[in-house]
Amino acid sequence: MKRLALSIALGLVCGASLAATSTTRFLIFVENGKQAGEQIVEHDDDGSERVRFIFKDNGRGPELRETLKVGKDGSLLAYTATGNSTFGGVVNDRFERSGDTARWQSTTEQGSTRVQGTAAYVPLVSSFQPAALAIRAMAARPDKSLALLPSGTMRMKVLESRTLSQGGKNQAVQLVALTGVGLSPQFAWVTREARPQLFAVVIPGYMTMIREGWQAQGKTLATAQKAAEGKLLVDLAAQLQHPLTGLTVVRNARVFDSEKAELTAPQDVYVLRGRITAMLPAGAPVRGAVNEIDAAGRVLLPGLFDMHGHVGRWEGGLNLAAGVTSVRDMGNDNATLQDILDETASGRLLSPQIVPAGFLEGESPYSANNGFVVKDLRGAKSAIDWYAEHGYPQLKIYNSFPKEILKETVAYAHERGLRVSGHIPAGLRAQQAIDAGYDEIQHINQLMLNFLFTPEVDTRTLQRFYLPSEKVADLDLDSAPVQEFIATLKQKQIAIDPTLATFAFLKQKDGEINEPFAPIADHMPPDVKRGFAVGTMKIPDDATLQRYRKSYAKMVDFVGRAYRAGVPVLAGTDELAGFTLQAELAYLVKAGLTPAQALQVATRNGAQYTRTSHERGSITPGKLADLVLVDGDPTRDIGDIRKVAAVITRGYLVYPREVHQALGVAPFVAANPAVTRLPASSASVAAGGNEGMLGVLGLGKHRD
């Protein structure tokens, strides 16, 4: 249920003009080639434009109308946008510049400021056209930069140029990277001319928007863009991943025992070539280490698991900076994910380790378009075979999957050795999916729909969000149906992946910062912080808001009750990488878990339900050295989980402070724990002893 991140924003302008001189139509395709939307831009000679934008994938998406007026210097002079956002929230955004005064107002915010020179307004929700106008303005400026309103600066860099040929026509285009908006660069293909026009926007592995008539060139542009992005990502990884060569000791750390959910006495932890080789009482003589990291009494956690990601190439730094060293990917473009796995294994990508779950969907007007989309049992079995052959330990079934073949599909996945989880296919309740053999269920709304579903409800539509928001408020959690369902989950050990932090948007009032992100908002770039205050649900009045908040509180309560009853709970996100996992742990504490129990869910449970307990989930000699050094004590105050000082994984040392600074985020810790290079004499002392220690542990028997 990951929120749409269609480049810079999603929002345009509407209006009327009598002088339309030309129209440009863009077609939007998802990765499997299905058309999912369009952007139509009408241009007038006086600098006015009108835009109609629609994008629908997975039964949801924005619909917008925009009007824009551009000055001779490229400044945006006026803008309006009306329509709805991805989940049905109202969009009504207006901006006007008169001389040196700029004013804006939306359902979320209003403000004004003095401005001089060329500047662009950044809508909270928009199409791609505001970005296109900003690119045109930057192209005319020597420094290729542009002041943004309400604040910030955008910069543009040309990455590559090429000429496309099709049907006897040639078109020169160039790929530009935009920085200063969001937490990663944004990319666009524009025509190569003095006043460049938008030609295409590609989000590799997800979607392509391209000028009508040129759609056959989409794959060519996607391939070129992936290569260009790859070069930037290799440089970023080299900058932020510090190889740990030789034996390293992390001294004087309070280690979190994930089996007992408690801290140990201070210990020294030895690491070599990505594995833990020994754990000794703090203060013992250093035995052959060449590097020393003084933990100074900090808490040392096993690497955290995000059990519900949809990974992209640019978000790895955010995960690692949050202490997330393993992400279970719950649905992706298959080819894209294979590339990410290869790039991560080779060290070319700043990324946590990824545990892939195969995505399986059925054909319908509401289909998601990741993984495999099938229509019959034969197709489902073929997809499962592909996932099994590529080492996927789990299968995820989605909303439009044919309910008639669910039981046979689950049985075949089990036969091939895959766990099975997912959304509940339309027309079924969660109990029926469990009866068909599910091992796990994703999302709190899918669990709640078990008690709300009627044959008239199509859970592939936005009703899967609005119905729980409206009805759970009246659900008696002590009633027999709820208690019997929890008992079934416990008896069959059905894991639940509630993603509570993600679903906090159900009760967010537009204009107020969404609760999971309130603790981090002041650390974010200005446009990201503004985005946290955009409500995505259509909540018409205060009575509805209070009802939705009551429903959400019961959803949190349900998770706590399930945990106390013995139901396996997992910590997943499906939202902003890294930061959302930290918020999810805070919500588990709200549900009644202790902070230490929440950490246990994100470590031991993560390893158990990704089948990686033999090498992850605890700090134990012989396991992978996935280690997270934290300022403060998150076993007492779960908020301290945001104070990650250092992360070790895959043989690299990563400093969150450096990652955040590179991404425009204000750091959460004051300083990096220093690595001291020990004298050669220390490294040579008892070298034979270290050989013996490594031999006793039998490290050669473990998989890399």
Q: Give residue for tokens 């997270």.
A: 628
Rounded CA separation 430/382 (Å)? 25
**Ramachandran sector of residue 283 (left: φ over 0; alpha: ψ -120 to 50; beta: rest):** left
pLDDT at 511 over 60: yes
**Nearest-CA neighbor of 2 among 348, 327, 373?**
327
pLDDT interval class at 484 (50, 70, 90): very high
Asked if the peptide bond before residue 150 counts as cis, ω within 30 degrees of 0, the response is yes
pLDDT at 20 over 80: no
Both tokens assigned to 69? 């007026």
Rounded CA separation 154/183 (Å)? 12
- The answer to whether residues 446 and 433 touch, using CB atoms and an 8 Å cutoff, is no
- DSSP letter assigned to residue 673: P
Residues 307-362: tens digit of each pLDDT: 999 999 999 999 999 999 999 999 999 999 999 999 999 999 999 999 999 999 99
Predicted local confidence at residue 320, as pLDDT: 98
pLDDT interval class at 392 (50, 70, 90): very high
pLDDT at 473 over 60: yes
pLDDT at 684 over 80: no
Both tokens assigned to 436? 């068909």
Helix, strand or coil, per DSSP, at residue 374: strand
pLDDT at 239 over 50: yes
Instruction: Please say whether the dihedral angle defined by the alpha carbons of residues 299, 305, 309 and 312, taken in this order, is positive or negative.
Output: positive
Spacing of C-alpha 307 from chain mean position:
11
pLDDT at 16 over 50: no
Spacing of C-alpha 423 from chain mean position:
18
pLDDT at 681 over 60: no
The full length of the chain comes to 704
Assign 3-state DSSP to the chain and report helix, strand, coil percentages, each to 5.
Answer: 30, 30, 40
Q: Give residue for tokens 């505001």.
A: 130
Q: In terms of pLDDT, which residue wins out, 454 or 498?
A: 498
Predicted local confidence at residue 699, as pLDDT: 28
Instruction: Please say whether the dihedral angle defined by the alpha carbons of residues 527, 530, 532 and 538, taken in this order, is positive or negative.
Output: negative
Cβ atoms < 10 Å from Cβ of 447:
24
- The answer to whether residues 155 and 664 touch, using CB atoms and an 8 Å cutoff, is no
Q: What are phi and psi of 384, to 5 degrees?
A: -65, -40
Compute the average pLDDT of residues 401-409: 98
- The answer to whether residues 441 and 421 touch, using CB atoms and an 8 Å cutoff, is yes
Proportion of the chain above pLDDT 70, given as a percent: 94
Q: What are phi and psi of 695, to 5 degrees?
A: -65, -40
Both tokens assigned to 569? 């709970």
Average pLDDT, the chain: 92
Predicted local confidence at residue 700, as pLDDT: 31
Rounded CA separation 165/547 (Å)? 57
pLDDT at 698 over 80: no
Predicted local confidence at residue 673, as pLDDT: 93
Predicted local confidence at residue 59, as pLDDT: 86
pLDDT at 518 over 80: yes
Both tokens assigned to 51? 């835009």
How far is residue 7 from each of residues 178, 209, 408, measured CA to CA in Å? Answer: 10, 11, 40
- Sequence-distant (6+) residues with CB within 8 A of 143 are none
pLDDT at 406 over 50: yes
Compute the average pLDDT of residues 498-521: 97
Rounded CA separation 83/93 (Å)? 9
Residues 612-640: tens digit of each pLDDT: 999 999 999 999 999 999 999 999 999 99
Proportion of the chain above pLDDT 90, given as a percent: 88
Compute the average pLDDT of residues 272-288: 93
Compute the average pLDDT of residues 34-49: 93
pLDDT interval class at 45 (50, 70, 90): confident
Q: In terms of pLDDT, which residue wins out, 681 or 442?
A: 442
- The answer to whether residues 465 and 537 touch, using CB atoms and an 8 Å cutoff, is yes
- Sequence-distant (6+) residues with CB within 8 A of 226 are 204, 339
Compute the average pLDDT of residues 673-695: 54
pLDDT interval class at 1 (50, 70, 90): very low
Rounded CA separation 150/238 (Å)? 34
Number of H helices, E strands in the chain: 18, 33
Predicted local confidence at residue 694, as pLDDT: 28
Predicted local confidence at residue 338, as pLDDT: 96
- Sequence-distant (6+) residues with CB within 8 A of 338 are 390
Q: Give residue for tokens 């030609």.
A: 199
- The answer to whether residues 323 and 628 touch, using CB atoms and an 8 Å cutoff, is yes
Rounded CA separation 691/175 (Å)? 52
pLDDT at 137 over 60: yes
State the pairing for strand pair 63-70/76-84.
antiparallel
- Sequence-distant (6+) residues with CB within 8 A of 282 are 251, 252, 253, 265, 266, 267, 268
pLDDT interval class at 58 (50, 70, 90): confident
Burial pattern 258-282, b for ≥16 Cβ within 10 A else e, equals beebebbebbbbbbbeebbbbbbeb
pTM score of the predicted model: 0.92
Q: Give residue for tokens 């006897």.
A: 168
User: Please, what is the angle between helix 334-345 and helix 218-240, to 10°?
Assistant: 30
Helix, strand or coil, per DSSP, at residue 438: coil
Q: What are phi and psi of 504, to 5 degrees?
A: -65, -20
Compute the average pLDDT of residues 583-609: 98
Both tokens assigned to 603? 């470590």
How far is residue 589 from each of residues 45, 496, 505, 554, measured CA to CA in Å? Answer: 58, 16, 19, 14
pLDDT interval class at 246 (50, 70, 90): very high
State the pairing for strand pair 495-497/440-442.
parallel
Angle (nearest 5°) at CA 520 between 648 and 259? 45
- DSSP letter assigned to residue 462: T
pLDDT at 4 over 70: no
pLDDT at 586 over 90: yes
pLDDT interval class at 375 (50, 70, 90): very high
pLDDT at 8 over 70: no
Predicted local confidence at residue 13, as pLDDT: 32
Q: Which residues pair with 173 in a beta bridge?
A: 162, 191
User: Please, what is the angle between helix 542-565 and helix 480-492, to 10°?
Assistant: 40
Residues 86-109: tens digit of each pLDDT: 999 999 999 999 999 999 999 999
pLDDT interval class at 402 (50, 70, 90): very high
Predicted local confidence at residue 62, as pLDDT: 94
pLDDT at 538 over 60: yes
- Reduced 3-state DSSP string for 27-63: EEEECCCCEEEEEEEEEECCCEEEEEEEECECCECCE
pLDDT interval class at 680 (50, 70, 90): low
- Start-to-end C-alpha separation, the chain: 32
**Nearest-CA neighbor of 291 among 694, 685, 682, 689?**
682
